[in-house]
C-alpha cells in the first residue's frame, strides 16, 4: 500500500475503506503528464530562487523525464494503491533520486497543485474538442455545398412552412458549431488567464516564490491574484462543462433531425450501413443508433454540469474535499462530447442526400403558399386579403388532392383576375428559394457564401493552432 504524504500527524492507520473512498488515482491519473510538467517548472523556479540547489533541480527534472519515458514504454505502471496521481509521482520520484525528490514539494500544496493540473489538462482537452468541432464543420460544409439546389420543406412546429434547401439546413448546424468553437476557445482563454501554482494550501507560503516565472513557463497570462481563490476556483470547470453542454444540445438537435430525415416517413437521407444497426427480429430495420445515443448522452452531460454547480454552491473558502468530485464530472463531459464528435462526423460524411424525396415533400406541403400570397400583394391586393384568398385555394387543393403547382393559369384566374401566366414561375419551389435573397437566406449564392465564411473560420482556427 502506498504511503500517504500526510501521515505524520496521525498515530493510527486509516481504515482501508476510508482509503478506498478517499482515493482519486482511478480518475486523476489522466493528469499525470500535466502534473509532471507543473512539477518540473516548480522545481526550476525553486532552484532559480535559491530555495533548492541546482543539483537537486537537475535530479528532479531527470527523474521526472525517466518516469515519463517509462510510463510511455510500459516499463512503469501507475500504482492503483496510490492515494492520487500527485502522491504516485512524488513517491516514484523519491524512490529514484532520493532526498532531492522530497524537496520537490517545497512551497507547494496539493491544493494548488491539483488546481494547476486540472487547468493544464482541461486546456489540452478543450483544444482537442475544438479540433474535432472544426472537422465536423468542414463535413457539414461539404455536404451543404453538394446540396445548394436540393429543395426541401423548412419547418415550424414540425409542420411544413416555407421552402429551403438541404444545404441551407445543414449550414444552420455549422453556425451553431462555430459558436460552440468560440465558446470553448473563450473558456480556454479564461482558464489560461490565471495560474494557481504558488497559492499553497490557501494562504501562499513563506518561501520567496517567483509566481510570475511559473505562470509564464506554464503558458498562463499571470498568477492568480488571490491565493484563496486560486485553490478554490472551479469556475473554469463549470464554464467548460457549460460550453460542452451547449454543444451537446446542438448535436442532439441535429441527431433528432437525422432520425426524422432517415425514417420512411421522411426519407430525405440514407445513412451508410457502417453507421447504422439492425434489429434482432425485424430484418427490414436500419436503425440510427448513433444519433439516438447522442440524444441520450446529452442528458448525461447536463448531469455533469449540474454536478459541478451543486458541488460548488455551498462551499466555504478555501479547498474542501467535495471538490475532488470535479474531475469525474468534467472528464466525463469532455469524453462524452469527444466520443459523440468522433462518431457523428464520419456518419455525416458518408450520409447520402435524397433530393427527389425532399422535393416531393416540399411540393405536398403547400410551402409556396406564402409566395402565392406575396404575388397577389405585389399586384396590388392587400396582404390580408391575399392571405385569405390563398388559404382558400390551399383548402380547395387539399379537397381535390392537388397542389398549387397543379393548377392551370385559368384556374388561378378563377380566384382572381390579378393572376397572370407568371404566377407559375412565382410559385415554382426553386424560384421560391432563389427569391428569398435577403442576407442569410436559402438561395444557392447565400449558402455558398455561408460555406465560404464557415470554412474561413475553420481555417483561421487551424492556422492559429498549427504546430510550428
Catalytic (active-site) positions: 157, 279
What are the φ/ψ torsions at residue 152 (nearest 5 degrees)?
Answer: -145, 165
Q: By three-state DSSP, how is residue 287 classified?
A: strand
DSSP 249: H
Grid cell 491539483 — which residue?
114
DSSP 156: E
What is the C-alpha separation between 110 and 89, in angstroms, rounded? 12
Q: Find all residues with CB under 8 Å of 166, minimum gap 6, and list them.
A: 143, 144, 147, 150, 152, 268, 353, 355, 358
User: Are the C-beta atoms of 213 and 197 separated by less than 8 Å?
Assistant: no
The burial of 411, by beta-carbon neighbours within 10 Å (0-12 exposed, 13-18 middle, 19 or more buried), is given as: middle
User: Are the C-beta atoms of 120 and 214 separated by less than 8 Å?
Assistant: no
CA angle centred on 330, ends 320 and 104, rounded to 5°: 55
C-alpha count within 13 angstroms, C-beta hemisphere, residue 395? 7
Q: By three-state DSSP, how is residue 155 classified?
A: strand
Count of other CB atoms within 10 angstroms of residue 59:
22
- Residue 103 cell numbers, joined: 524537496
Q: By three-state DSSP, how is residue 269 classified?
A: strand
The burial of 201, by beta-carbon neighbours within 10 Å (0-12 exposed, 13-18 middle, 19 or more buried), is given as: middle
Count of other CB atoms within 10 angstroms of residue 299:
10
What are the φ/ψ torsions at residue 159 (nearest 5 degrees)?
Answer: -110, 140
* Nearest Cα to Cα of residue 271 among 253, 292, 251, 247: 292
What is the C-alpha separation between 27 and 331, in angstroms, rounded? 8
Residues recorded for the chain: 468
What is the C-alpha separation between 47 and 35, in angstroms, rounded? 18
Grid cell 436503425 — which residue?
287
Mark out the alpha helices in 313-379 (DSSP H runs): 325-349, 355-364, 369-378
* Nearest Cα to Cα of residue 266 among 192, 361, 180, 200: 361
Amino acid at each position: 500500500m502506498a504511503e500517504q504524504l500526510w501521515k505524520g500527524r496521525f498515530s493510527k492507520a486509516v481504515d482501508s475503506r476510508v482509503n478506498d473512498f478517499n482515493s482519486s488515482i482511478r480518475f486523476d491519473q489522466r493528469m499525470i503528464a500535466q502534473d509532471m510538467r507543473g512539477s518540473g517548472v516548480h522545481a526550476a523556479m525553486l532552484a532559480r530562487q535559491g530555495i533548492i540547489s541546482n543539483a537537486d533541480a537537475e535530479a528532479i527534472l531527470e527523474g521526472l523525464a525517466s518516469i515519463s519515458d517509462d510510463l510511455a514504454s510500459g516499463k512503469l505502471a501507475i500504482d492503483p494503491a496510490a492515494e492520487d496521481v500527485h502522491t504516485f509521482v512524488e513517491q516514484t520520484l523519491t524512490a529514484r533520486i532520493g532526498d532531492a525528490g522530497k524537496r520537490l514539494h517545497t512551497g507547494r500544496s496539493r491544493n494548488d497543485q491539483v488546481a494547476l493540473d486540472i487547468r493544464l489538462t482541461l486546456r489540452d482537452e478543450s483544444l482537442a474538442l475544438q479540433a474535432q468541432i472544426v472537422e465536423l464543420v468542414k463535413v457539414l460544409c461539404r455536404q451543404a455545398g453538394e446540396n445548394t439546389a436540393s429543395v426541401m420543406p423548412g419547418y415550424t412546429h414540425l409542420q411544413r412552412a416555407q421552402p429551403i434547401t438541404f444545404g441551407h439546413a445543414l449550414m444552420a448546424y455549422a453556425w451553431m458549431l462555430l459558436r460552440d468553437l468560440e465558446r470553448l476557445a473563450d473558456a480556454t482563454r479564461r482558464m489560461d488567464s490565471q495560474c494557481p501554482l504558488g497559492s499553497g494550501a490557501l494562504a501562499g507560503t513563506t518561501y520567496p516564490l517567483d509566481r510570475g516565472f511559473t505562470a509564464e513557463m506554464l503558458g498562463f497570462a499571470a498568477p492568480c491574484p488571490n491565493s484563496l481563490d486560486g485553490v478554490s476556483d472551479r469556475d473554469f470547470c463549470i464554464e467548460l462543462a457549460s460550453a460542452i453542454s451547449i454543444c451537446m444540445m446542438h448535436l442532439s438537435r441535429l441527431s433528432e433531425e437525422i432520425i426524422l430525415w432517415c425514417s420512411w416517413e421522411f426519407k430525405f437521407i440514407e445513412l451508410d450501413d457502417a453507421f447504422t444497426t439492425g434489429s434482432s427480429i425485424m430484418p427490414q430495420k436500419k436503425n440510427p443508433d448513433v444519433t439516438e445515443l447522442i440524444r441520450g448522452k446529452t442528458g448525461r452531460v447536463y448531469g455533469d454540469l449540474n454536478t459541478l454547480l451543486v458541488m460548488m454552491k455551498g462551499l466555504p473558502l478555501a479547498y474542501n474535499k467535495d471538490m475532488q468530485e470535479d474531475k469525474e464530472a468534467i472528464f466525463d463531459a469532455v469524453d462524452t462530447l469527444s466520443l459523440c464528435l468522433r462518431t457523428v462526423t464520419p456518419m455525416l460524411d458518408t450520409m447520402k442526400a435524397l433530393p427527389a424525396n425532399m422535393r416531393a415533400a416540399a411540393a405536398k406541403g403547400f410551402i409556396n403558399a406564402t409566395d402565392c400570397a406575396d404575388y397577389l400583394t405585389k399586384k396590388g391586393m392587400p396582404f390580408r386579403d391575399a392571405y385569405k384568398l390563398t388559404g382558400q385555394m390551399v383548402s380547395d387543393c387539399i379537397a381535390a388532392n392537388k397542389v398549387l403547382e397543379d393548377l392551370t393559369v385559368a384556374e388561378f384566374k378563377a380566384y382572381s383576375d390579378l393572376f397572370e401566366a407568371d404566377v407559375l414561375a412565382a410559385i415554382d419551389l426553386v424560384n421560391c428559394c432563389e427569391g428569398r435573397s435577403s442576407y442569410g437566406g436559402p438561395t444557392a449564392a447565400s449558402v455558398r457564401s455561408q460555406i465560404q465564411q464557415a470554412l474561413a473560420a475553420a481555417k483561421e482556427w487551424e492556422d492559429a493552432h498549427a504546430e510550428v
